[in-house]
Chain A
Amino acid sequence: MSVDRRTLLKGLVVGGAAAAAGPAEASEARRPEAPPDAVGMLYDATLCIGCKTCVVACREANGLPPETPEWTEGLWDAPPGLDEYTKNIIQLYREGDEQSYVKHQCMHCLDPGCVNACMIGALQKRDFGIVTWESDRCIGCRYCQVACPFEVPKFEFHSANPKIVKCELCIHRIKEGKQPACCEVCPRGAIIYGTYDMLLEEAHRRIEASPDRYIQKVYGETDGGGTQVLYISHVPFEKLGFPQGLGDEPVGKMARDVQHGVYKGFIAPTVLYAVLAGVIWRNRRSAGEEESS
């Protein structure tokens, strides 16, 4: 019996410890790859003039109200960031002489935190690697908001039947053979649409061709495991509202390593259950013997 008990305790402790150590078999060695049909966007901060044509076009293409409906009177300009009515935003960064616009929308991560979080798959990488939301599967738990390092998914807090609002790369337009609305209207070509491979190549071509003009990094190539929306810029990316301390690992990786490390499929819980039942059975039997003797 003592053996049983020791095995059980070991099971409990080793489970946790194994999770901590991140066992080799459970960890995914390579970084995520883009799906073969992946499309994306490339934003070049050096070209953007902050005209916000893309913001308007995004609203039109996605049936979003032209301004925050809660606003009823007085002056109104624009929301300061993404919100439950805004899937795409242009922001301005300035410090001393340094200045840049930046466009924010969903990054369409290669290994998205939001998808990792969602319980029955409302958010998933579907066609073209685009992360889309399916109303029918959403409980409104908002865990996707906790898990997205880019603070993209927005929740309709105003509604009694709330939905998740986020850029879905205009998948409805792509399926009609058109480009995303923001890419189509940009007068400067600051945001362009294409296949993921083509965009990555183009981004590298530009920063190599003009090393003085650009920071020598394509944001999104590796960040957070990589994203299908890529950025090049003349201003360091941390200053443009990208998350600090994200690193190159997908946010879901550690949780997955821990969870699958401990659970090993469903073997560990099943074994634990059997051991528990065994121990309790023996304890009970010995208790019964004591009583009858």
Chain B
Amino acid sequence: MIHRAEPVGGPIINRFTSFLLGLVGISVILLIWRFAAGLGATTALNDGYPFGLWIAFEVVAGTALACGGYAVAILLYVFNKGEYHPLIRPALLTSALGYSMAAFAIIIDVGRPWFIYRIPIRVGQWNLNSPLLEVALCVMAYVGVLWIELAPAFLEKWKETGSGGLRRFAESGLRFFDKAMIWIVSLGILLPTMHQSSLGTVMLLGGPKLHKLWNTPLIPLLFLVSCIAMGYAVVIFESGVSGAVFGRPRHTAMLAKLSGAMVVVLALFLVIRFADLILRGRLGLMFHDWYSVLFWAEMALFAVPLVMLSNARRRQHFPTLFKAASLMLFAGILYRFDTYLVAFNPGRQWTYFPSLVEILVSVGVVSLEILLYIAIVKRYPILAGRATAPEKA
């Protein structure tokens, strides 16, 4: 059963993509305002809540949602499960787009983006105690690595359809990739291992401001484990959506096996989370105030998909898989929102709820991501298998 990746084809501009384009347009205008007037005029960010929606959603949750490429690469290359090959390209594409959007979000969120270039080049000034420095360097490098990992999809197409110079470039690029593949793929696994865990470490510096149910030295491990679960969930989610929209085969059998890996990872997360809180004597906080409620909501969102998927037979049922994956995504997103915003309490006088500009720009960023995804899968060999139904998008 060989699934060769093929372009979906069809026009890129249609009603849906035009709508997305409109949302992107609104964001562009809002962002011009943001850069002219500053963050105070356009966002709800304040001195108590310096990190807001853009960081919590686009960067912290967004990169975790973009861990499909990482999570599948672990199975495919480390555990040598070659059968997952058809999943890797779409996963890498969502990862590359997700990470690029996160990088973009950082640029619009920081006060002085024109100094960002100094972070990678001023090696002598690096503060190696800063978890954020590690995140910044790793994310910058990983955006590059992801697009390189994805490059064969573009090169293959250019090799076939390009003329003269472009074809020669594509051929030599593919040859280079064949040789360097091990080093690139290893980097593609190493970097997310480092920065997805460090994204957790970042909030340890919140110290007493981070609620004790979330503030634990195990936070990097919890972030790492949950991002892998989110990576698998995204792959399932994406297969469901692109299956429905582009009429592609869903690989249900393969996804069922994948969700087996998800069960292990989810269980691991819950065990670590509870063991840590119990061993550190924080059991009482689990039944204390509304933070406890939040905590249990989070735990339930992790536990329900675990239960749904733990039965091997039910895993074969795609709608169940899809629902479990969606819940799992919510779980991971909520865990990150809680750690970065809700369980972060700088004092009673501060409140934060994202402004309309922040929300609309976030919507615009996600729209751009979907738009690019559609454009790329329609033109380049990303999705496996042939279209079996007329495409509807």
Alpha-carbon separation in the docked complex, A251 to B130 (Å): 12
Alpha-carbon separation in the docked complex, A113 to B132 (Å): 13
Is the Cβ of B132 less than 8 Å from the Cβ of A155?
A: no
Chain A 46-94 interface residues, beta-carbon cutoff 8 Å to B = 80-81, 83-84
Count: A-B pairs, CB below 8 Å: 202
Does A139 sit within 8 A of B, measured CB to CB?
yes
Looking at the complex, which one of A19, A83, A160, A284 makes contact with B217 (CB distance below 8 Å)?
A19
Looking at the complex, which one of A80, A139, A245, A252 makes contact with B116 (CB distance below 8 Å)?
A139
Classify chain A's interface size. 35 or more
Alpha-carbon separation in the docked complex, A276 to B220 (Å): 20
Is the Cβ of A155 less than 8 Å from the Cβ of B118?
A: no
Instruction: Point out the residues of chain A lying under 8 angstroms from B204, CB to CB.
Output: 254-255, 258
Looking at the complex, which one of A8, A121, A155, A269 makes contact with B125 (CB distance below 8 Å)?
A121
Is the Cβ of A16 less than 8 Å from the Cβ of B224?
A: yes
Is the Cβ of B207 less than 8 Å from the Cβ of A262?
A: no
Instruction: Point out the residues of chain B lying under 8 angstroms from A251, CB to CB.
Output: 205-208
Alpha-carbon separation in the docked complex, A139 to B46 (Å): 17
Q: What mask results when residues 189 to 206 of chain B are scored 1 for a CB within 8 Å of chain A, else 0?
A: 110011001100111111
Instruction: Point out the residues of chain A lying under 8 angstroms from B354, CB to CB.
Output: none
Classify chain B's interface size. 35 or more
Is the Cβ of B208 less than 8 Å from the Cβ of A246?
A: yes
Is the Cβ of B129 less than 8 Å from the Cβ of A154?
A: no
Does B131 sit within 8 A of A, measured CB to CB?
yes
Alpha-carbon separation in the docked complex, A254 to B276 (Å): 15
Alpha-carbon separation in the docked complex, A16 to B206 (Å): 20
Secondary structure dominating the interface of B: helix
Instruction: Point out the residues of chain B lying under 8 angstroms from A143, CB to CB.
Output: 50, 130, 132, 202, 205
Instruction: Point out the residues of chain B lying under 8 angstroms from A259, CB to CB.
Output: 129, 131, 134, 198, 201
Alpha-carbon separation in the docked complex, A19 to B183 (Å): 27
Does B295 sit within 8 A of A, measured CB to CB?
no
With both beta carbons as reference points, the residue of chain A lying nearest to B81 in the complex is identified as A283
Alpha-carbon separation in the docked complex, A257 to B217 (Å): 9
Is the Cβ of B38 less than 8 Å from the Cβ of A276?
A: no
Alpha-carbon separation in the docked complex, A35 to B169 (Å): 58
Looking at the complex, which one of A19, A141, A154, A276 makes contact with B132 (CB distance below 8 Å)?
A141
Is the Cβ of A16 less than 8 Å from the Cβ of B80?
A: no
Does A187 sit within 8 A of B, measured CB to CB?
no
- Interface, chain A (partner B; CB < 8 A): 5, 8, 12, 16-17, 19-20, 22, 80-81, 83-84, 113, 115-121, 137-143, 145-147, 149, 151, 153-162, 243-247, 251-252, 254-259, 262, 269, 272-273, 276-277, 279-281, 283-284, 286-287
Closest 7 CB pairs of A and B: A140-B111, A157-B40, A16-B221, A251-B207, A142-B50, A162-B111, A147-B205
Question: 9 additional contacts, CB 8 Å, given A143-B132, A256-B129?
Answer: A116-B129, A138-B111, A139-B116, A149-B208, A162-B111, A251-B208, A255-B131, A255-B201, A272-B193
A-B contact pairs, 18 of them (CB 8 A): A20-B276, A113-B205, A116-B129, A138-B111, A138-B112, A139-B110, A139-B119, A140-B112, A141-B132, A142-B50, A143-B132, A145-B50, A155-B50, A157-B38, A243-B209, A251-B207, A276-B78, A284-B181
